[in-house]
Structure 1
Amino acid sequence: MLERSHLMVIREVERQGSLTGAAEALNVTQSALSHTVKKLEQQLATPVWTREGRSMRLTQAGQYLLRLANRMLPQFEHAEERMKQYAQGERGTLRIGMECHPCYQWLLKVVSPYLARWPDVDVDVKQRFQFGGIGALFGYDIDVLVTPDPLQKPGLRFEPVFDYEQVLVISDGHALANERYVTPTQLAEEVLITYPVETDRLDIYTQFLTPANVVPKRHKVIETTDIMMQMVASGRGVAALPRWLAEEYAEWMPLIPLRLGKKGISKQIFLGTREVDDTIDYLAAFVALARESDWSGARLRT
C-alpha cells in the first residue's frame, strides 16, 4: 500500500539526487532507506528509479508518484501546521501569493488594518511559485492569490476586489507629455520598462502592442517599482502601471500617466481562494476587507 512516507522518500531522493543525500535529509541510515526503496518497488511491482552510478533517475511510474508527492505532501504539512496552531490557541498564518507586481502598495494598505483587527493571525507574502499561482493554491503553498488574470478552475473561487485603469507612465519632459492618449505606433521607438513577467501576460503587450503588430524599440526588465519610476523620470524609458499607482508616484516625481489608446485599458484585481476554505473566518475577513477598501481612484476615468 502506498503511504505518505513513500511519497516523502520519492520527493527527497529527487531533491538530493542520491540515496545518501536523501538519507541525511530524512535523518535515517542509508541502509534503512535502501530497504524502504526496495520494499516499495516490490509492493508496487514496478521500478520507481533507474540507477546510474550513485545517482537515481525516476522512471515513468516514479515521475507520476513525484507529481503526486508534490501535490499531496504540502497539504499534509499545511494541515499539521494548522493543527499545531489550533493546539497552541493560534489561528495561523494567512499566506498571500502575488501575481500582480504593482499591487504591493495596495496590499500594504489592506494588511495594516487587517493585522489590527486579527492580532492572532500572521501574514506572509509569496511571489515566486514552483507551479504558478494556481498551482500554489491547489498545492496549499498559499491561501490567497492576488491576480489580475483569474483562471477559473473547479475548487477555486475568484472575487473581484477593485477595478483599475492601466496607463503608460512617461516623464514630464517626454515628447508625448501633451497628448491625451498614446497609440501603439507611438511606442515603436520607445524603451519599454516592465516587471519580469512573460510578455504574453503583460497587458501592455496583449491588449495594446501585439494586436497592432507593434514592438517597442527595446524591452527592459526591472523588478522594483521605485527603480522603474526613477528610470522613467530620468527619461530612460516608459512603463505601464495602474493609474492609481502612477498618480501616487506623480505626486512627488516628474511623471505623467497617459491613457493607452482612446478608450483606455480597464482591468480588475481578483483574490483567489479554495472553496474548501470558505469556513475559515480570518481568510473570509481578509477578502471582505479588501473588497470594502475605498479604491475609487483606481477606476477607469472618463
Structure 2
Amino acid sequence: MNVSLRNLKLVNVIVKEGSVTKAADKLFLSQPALSHQLKKLEEELGLKVFNRLNKKLILTEVGQVLFANSEKMLASMNQLNSELDAIKMGKKKNIRLTTECYTCYHWLPNVVREFRQEHPKINIKIDIEATKEPLEYLIEGKIDLAIVSTKSSHPSIHFEPLVTDEMVVILSKDNELSTQKTINLTDLINQDLILYDIPEEKNYVLTSILHNNVGFVRTIQKAQLTEAIIELVSANLGISVMAKWSVVPFLNHKNLEIIPFDLNVGKRDWYIASLNKISNIENSFVDAVKKHFNESLLKE
C-alpha cells in the first residue's frame, strides 16, 4: 500500500470538518471531486475508511489509524515548512560553524556570546571535529559556515572575505633575536620552533611560512595548547609563530616579545566559506566577527 500525504490530509480534513461538503470547501474542491478521491483511496486500500451512518461519516478502525498518523505527519510537515520559510526569510535558527584554525576557538566563544545577546533565538553550533576538514564537511552539508584561510576552487563553495591578520614571531625577552625590529626566515636557523600539535599539512606555519622547509630552524617541537607554548617560549626554551591577536593578551604578564616578519611574510587572509551566498542572519554573524577583530583582537 502507498498512502500519500495528500490522502492523509484528505482524511484529516473530513474528520475535522465533519462532512464531505465542508471538507471540499476547505480543500478548494468540488464535493464530487472529493468524494471521488475518497472512493479511490478506499479502493486502493481495499478497506473502508468511513462508515456512512445517517448521513454521518464514522471512522472505521482503518480510518482511525489513518487519522492518528495524519495528525503526526501533517504537524511534522507544518514544522518543516515553517523552518524552510524561516531560512528563506533569513531567520535561520541554527548556524553550524567550524574553523580550520584551532587557535580561533580562543576568541570564537566571545563572539558567539555577544552575537546571542542581539539574536537570542539564533543558536550557533560550533563543530570542533570539522576543524580537520572544514571544506569537506561544508560540501557534505554537515556545517553551514567555515572560517578558513585557504580558498578552494570548488564551484559550489562561496568565499566571503572576513579579515586579514598577521603571523608574528613570539620569543622571550632573553632571546638573542629580541632586539630586532623584524625577522627574516634566515634569522631562525639556530632557533627551536614550538608549534601546535596538528597534522603538518594543516599547519599554516610549516606550509605557508616555512614552505615545508624545516631547515630554516634548528628543531621543531609540538604542543597542544596555546598556554603551554606561551610558557615554554617565556622560559626561553624556544620560539613560536602565532597570529598576533592570539599573543597580545599574554604580553603584559609574560617575559615575551613579538616581532613581525619582514617582506610582508605572515600576512594571512581569512574567509567565511558557505555553499551558497550567506543569508541575512549569517551575514550578521560575519559582521559580529569583523567587529570583534577590529575592536579587540587586532589591537595591541
TM class by shorter-chain length?
A: 0.5 to 0.7
Q: CA deviation at 1:211?
A: 7.8
After TM superposition, which residue ranges in structure 1, 4 or more long, deviate above 4 angstroms?
296-301
Distance 1:133 1:259 in 2: 28
Deviations, residues 186-220 of structure 1 (Å, cap 9, x unaligned): 32232211123343443433343338773422222
Alignment of structure 1 residues 95-134 onto 2, 5 Å: 95-129=96-130, 132-134=133-135
Q: In 2, distance between residues paired with 1:124 and 1:92?
A: 10
Larger Rg: 2
Aligned-CA RMSD value = 3.2
**Does the 8 A contact of 1:110 with 1:293 survive in 2?**
yes
CA offsets 1:147-199 (integer angstroms, 9 cap, x no match): 11122321211112111111111011111110112222332232211123343
For 2:210, what is the secondary structure of its paired residue? helix
- Partner of 2:205 in structure 1? 204
Give the secondary-structure state (helix, strand or coil) at the position aligned to 1:258: strand
1:286 aligns with 285
The question of whether the paired residues in 1 share the 8 Å contact of 2:160 and 2:273 is answered with yes
Distance 1:294 1:196, change over 3 A: closer
- Deviation for aligned residue 1:300: 11
How far apart are residue 119 of structure 1 and its match?
0.8
Shift of 1:296: 6.7
Structure 1 length normalisation: TM-score?
0.62
Q: Does 1:227 align with 2:228?
A: yes
- Counterparts of 1:72-91 in structure 2, within 5 Å, are 83=80, 86=83, 91=92
Matched, 1:247 2:248: yes
Tell me the secondary structure at the aligned position of residue 286 of structure 1.
helix
Letter of the 1:202 counterpart: N
CA positional deviation for 1:85? 8.8
State the number of aligned residues. 218
CA distance in 1, matches of 2:131, 2:106: 24
Percent of aligned pairs sharing the same letter: 16
Per-residue deviation, 1:262: 4.4
* Amino acid of the structure 2 residue aligned with 1:278: I
Which TM-score applies when normalising by structure 2?
0.63
Matched residue SS, 1:129? helix
| Aligned equivalents of 1:129, 1:294: Cα separation in 2 | 23
**Structure 1 unmatched ranges of 5 or more:** 1-79
Give the distance between the partners of 1:202 and 1:241, measured in 2 at CA: 11
In 2, the alpha carbon distance for the partners of 1:215 and 1:95 equals 39
- On the 8 A contact 1:160/1:291 being kept in 2, the answer is no
In structure 1, give the amino acid aligned to 2:189. A
Where in structure 2 are there 5+ consecutive unaligned residues?
Answer: 1-76
